[in-house]
Each structure stands twice: as structure tokens, then as C-alpha cells.
Amino acid sequence: MIRINENYPKLSSSYLFSEVSRRVAAFQASHPGAQLIRMGIGDVTLPLPPSVVSAFRDAVQELAAEDTFHGYGPDLGYDFLRGPIAEIDYRARGADIDPGEIVISDGSKCDTANIQEIFAHDLHIAIPDPVYPVYVDTNVMAGRTGSFRDGRYGGLIYLDSTEENGFVPDLPKSRVDLVYLCFPNNPTGATITREQLAAWVDYARKSKALILYDAAYVAFIRDPSLPRSIFEIPGARECAIEFRSFSKTAGFTGTRCAFTVVPRDCKAWDSAGGAHSLLDLWSRRQATKFNGVSYPVQRAAAAVYTPEGQEETKALSDYYLGNAKIIREKLGGLGFACTGGENSPYIWVKTDMESWKFFDLLLEKAGVVVTPGAGFGMCGEGYVRVSAFNKKENVQKAMQKIAGAAKDLAV
Ligand code: PLP
């Protein structure tokens, strides 16, 4: 008899975005013709930049001729992409990373989900709260948690990110072997300082723990004092893996390209105390289960590192940061406490009521859709996430609608 993976039914049933869609559909059915503005979207709205499109098109053309055709590519990615990543994203910023430590993939979602496969099953895993749901759900699927009770899974160590700690979790008080960190953060938009990140690196080295550092939103950092990579912190090569994606940096959410950086110094131990290279394990995993990102997509991603590509992609994040500024200023002016939006495309807004209640009120009174913070974890209760990924006109219209409905939103 075929049987299921019994960890799947443990997943908490109300997946955030399907519940948002359900409520929006119900509202539209009862208010036909109502014009809604969606400010909850975590997807880009601007097209691929011209230099990326041109490299993409040229690479497709190469596939059309026998003498320039490419079949399977190298398992871990083409050197024409790994080289510029090492040079521009890392070495130019004083982070000692070489191209051989960069593994190209089709997304940070899959990389952050799949990486756990190379670790022991009975680890002490720490997860921030609120959190990008993929880290939690994939650990549930892998059977690394207990069941879901009172808003949390048994077996995980939750690191509260609250107003009190500026949405940067404190170091764990109990033993931790693996910890997920994400900065600039989804959903709070918070950033981490060099000193705070150095404290995490120090903690991880001392406790032989590993930090999984998700830097999917690095392109939005403008404050020069903030670290862009965990590898700018001395010692991080021994205790951290970093995930980066072209999704939000260059509009690749539908095109799909990302990379994971695993320094050679990064080790993990077997039960007999033997040390193993995580780069070897991850390379082996990818070579066995993944057949690479297509040649034209890697050529398109490499175009991001040309001078024109750098300028054009910066213009993309500048545009969304312009939207974020409008959101912050408008909502702040209405009396809402806001975090994020300065070095991040997300603004975390304190609602002074349950987040789903605020979601419903905002939908009903202003016709604006946001993402309820409670869907990202217990500590997200009392907040909503507002996204700057939108057309500027929509952002301005949404802010006008919210201002018009302010008296109904109890601010
Ligand atoms: N990490 C975080 C924190 C994200 O918010 C997202 C996407 O929303 C991802 C990773 C996924 O990125 P990708 O499109 O590369 O799979």
C-alpha cells in the first residue's frame, strides 16, 4: 500500500497567501466593481532591464546554431557568471569569496529549502519569528518538528523579533546548531548592523553552529554602514552559508536564477567527530539532484554585472525604494509606527489591533490589500506587511485611500 509522508499533514492549514486570496475573492463577490489595490505582493512589477534582455536574446540565438549550441551546463554553474559574482558582490566589498565557492541555482526558495538535506536529522534549529514561511514549512516537511500547537511547531527554537529588539533577534539562550537569519528582512524590512551580525558570527563559531544567511533583498541596502554580506564579517567563512537571488535584484522572479555561497572553511561534523566540507556536500547534492540553470538565463544574470547592468538594476531597486518612501511617509504621517522601507522593499506597520482584523478593515474601508503579520508567525500579530513592489501610481492611490479611511482604522 502506498503511504504518505506523514509530516505533510502537520503543516498548519491556513497558508497565508491562500487565506488572503480567499478573503479578497469574498470581498469582490460581495462588492462587484470595487477597485482594489494590492499592496501585499512580494513580486516585482518592472520588466527585466535592457542589458539583461539583450544578453538573454543573444544566448537564445546561440542555441539556434550547431556550432554555438549548449547542452547540459557545468553542474555548479558557468564560470562566466560565478567569476563576476565573486568579484563584484564579494571581493570588491572586502569579502574573501572565490568563484569555486559559488553554486548557481534556480532560486533561493529551493536553496533555503533543500540545504537542510545535508545536515543531521536531530539538530536544534532556530527560526526567527516572524519569518519567511519557507524555512519553517520545509523543516516540517522533512520531519524535523513536532506538531503545530498554539501557533508554533514543537521542536523548533523560535527567536522573537519584536519592537523591543528592533526586529533583530537576540542570541539564543539554549543550544542551537542551525540558525536562519534574513537581512534585509522579509517581512519586517529590518536590517542588521555590522556589530549585531558580528555577535551572531562569534556565537556560531563558539558553539560550532551554522548560520544560514538569506540576503535575497541585499540590493535594497543604501546605508553604507550596513553589511551586505555575512562574509564581510571576519570569521564568517567558518560558520555561514549565504543565499542570494536575482529575483528582487534584477526582476528574475519569473526568469529564475540565484546562487548559494558555501566557503571552503565551512565544516560540519559526523557522529565520530570527523569534519566534512559543506561545499563538497552541497556540490554533491546539487550535482546529483539538479541539472543546472539554462544557458540563456545564466547569460542574462551575468549581464547584471556589466557596467550597464549594474546601473539598470540599481534603477529598479531605486524605483521600489521610492515607493517605500512614499508608504513610510504617508503611513507615518497618519500615526502608524513603521519599520523597514529605507533599506528594504517591505514596510512593517504596527496596527494596534489583530492583524487579520486590520486586514479586513483596510479591505472594506479603503479597498487596499496588505499582508497580515500574524501569517508570518506569532510575533507578527499586531502588524501588517506593506510591499513597495508596485507601480508608483498605485502606491500613491493606495495611500490616498488609506488617508481617506484613517478615521475607520482607529489611528
Ligand atoms: N528568501 C526570501 C526572504 C524571500 O522573500 C524570497 C521570495 O520572496 C526568497 C528567498 C525566494 O527567492 P527566489 O525567487 O530566488 O526563489
Residue 192 amino acid letter: I
Q: What is the pLDDT at residue 169?
A: 98
pLDDT (mean) for 180-187: 98
Whether the ω angle into residue 187 lies within 30 degrees of 0, i.e. cis, is yes
The pLDDT, as a whole number, for residue 135 is 96
pLDDT bucket at 110, cuts 50 / 70 / 90: very high
Choice from 115, 134, 135 to test ligand 1 binding pocket (greatest atom count within 8 A of CB): 134
- CA-to-CA dists, residue 58 to 104, 254, 305, 384, angstroms: 20, 19, 16, 43
Cβ proximity of 239 and 230 under 8 Å: no
What number is the average pLDDT over the span 166-182? Answer: 96
pTM for the full predicted model:
0.97
Q: Which atom of ligand 1 is nearest to 253's Cα?
A: 14
Side chain identity at 107, as an amino acid letter? G
Compute the distance from residue 362 Cα to the ligand 1 centre, in Å. Answer: 26
Nearest C-alpha neighbor of 243 from the set 103, 76, 141, 100 = 103
pLDDT at 411: 53
- Residue of minimum CA distance from atom 1 in ligand 1: 216
Dihedral of CA atoms 196, 201, 206, 208 in degrees, nearest 10, equals 140
The CA distance from 108 to 199, in Å, is 25
Q: What is the pLDDT of residue 253?
A: 98
Q: Which atom of ligand 1 is closest in space to residue 258's alpha carbon?
A: 15
191 Cα to the center of ligand 1, angstroms:
16
Residue 43 pLDDT class (50, 70, 90 cuts): very high
User: Separation of 220 CA from ligand 1 center, angstroms?
Assistant: 14
- pLDDT score, position 33: 86
Q: In the chain, what percentage of residues exceed pLDDT 70?
A: 99
Alpha carbon of 375 to ligand 1 centroid (Å): 16
Contact 391, 45 (CB under 8 A): yes
Estimate to the nearest angstrom the gap between the alpha carbon of 62 and the chain centroid: 33
Task: Assess whether pLDDT exceeds 70 at residue 36.
Answer: yes
Q: 111, 245, 376: which to mutate for ligand 1, most atoms within 8 A of CB?
A: 245
Which residues line the pocket of ligand 1, CB cutoff 6 A? 42, 107-109, 132, 182, 186, 214, 216, 245, 247, 253, 258
Instruction: Return the residue whose CA atom lies nearest to atom 8 of ligand 1.
Output: 42
pLDDT at site 14: 62
* 119 touches 266 (CB < 8 A): no
Q: Is the pLDDT of residue 16 over 90?
A: no
Q: d(Cα 350, Cα 189) in Å, to the nearest integer?
A: 13
**185 CA closest ligand 1 atom index:** 3
Nearest CA to ligand 1 atom 11: 109
- Ligand 1 center from residue 216 Cα (angstroms): 6
CA of 53 to the centre of ligand 1 (A): 22
Question: What average pLDDT score do residues 383-389 get?
Answer: 97
Vertex 205: Cα angle to 199 and 208 (nearest 5): 135
Q: What does the alpha-carbon distance between residue 293 and residue 298 come to, in Å, rounded to a whole number? A: 7
Q: How far is the CA of 108 from the centre of ligand 1 (A)?
A: 5
Cβ(80)–Cβ(302) under 8 Å? yes
Helix (H) or strand (E) run with residue 247 in it: helix 246-250
Question: Is 13 a residue whose pLDDT tops 80?
Answer: no
Q: What is the distance in A from the centroid of ligand 1 to the CA of 1?
A: 37
CA of 298 to the centre of ligand 1 (A): 18
pLDDT digits (tens, 9 = 90+) for 206-221: 999 999 999 999 999 9
Spatial CB neighbours of 404, under 8 Å, sequence gap ≥ 6: 366
CA 132 to ligand 1: nearest atom: 3
Question: 235: exposed, middle or buried (C-beta count within 10 Å: 0-12, 13-18, 19+)?
Answer: middle
Question: How distant is the alpha carbon of residue 194 from its chain centre?
Answer: 19
Q: Which atom of ligand 1 is nearest to the CA of 252?
A: 14
* SS3 label, residue 158: strand
Q: What is the pLDDT of residue 12?
A: 81
Phi/psi at 108 (5° precision): -75, -20
| pLDDT score of 406 | 86
Total Cβ atoms within 10 A of residue 317: 23
The CA-atom distances, in angstroms, between 307 and each of 84, 88, 310, 347 are 12, 11, 5, 30
Question: Could you tell me where the DSSP H helices lie in 334-386?
Answer: 355-366
Give the DSSP letter string of 17-76.
HHHHHHHHHHHHHHSTT---EE----S--SPPPHHHHHHHHHHHHHHTSGGG---S--TT
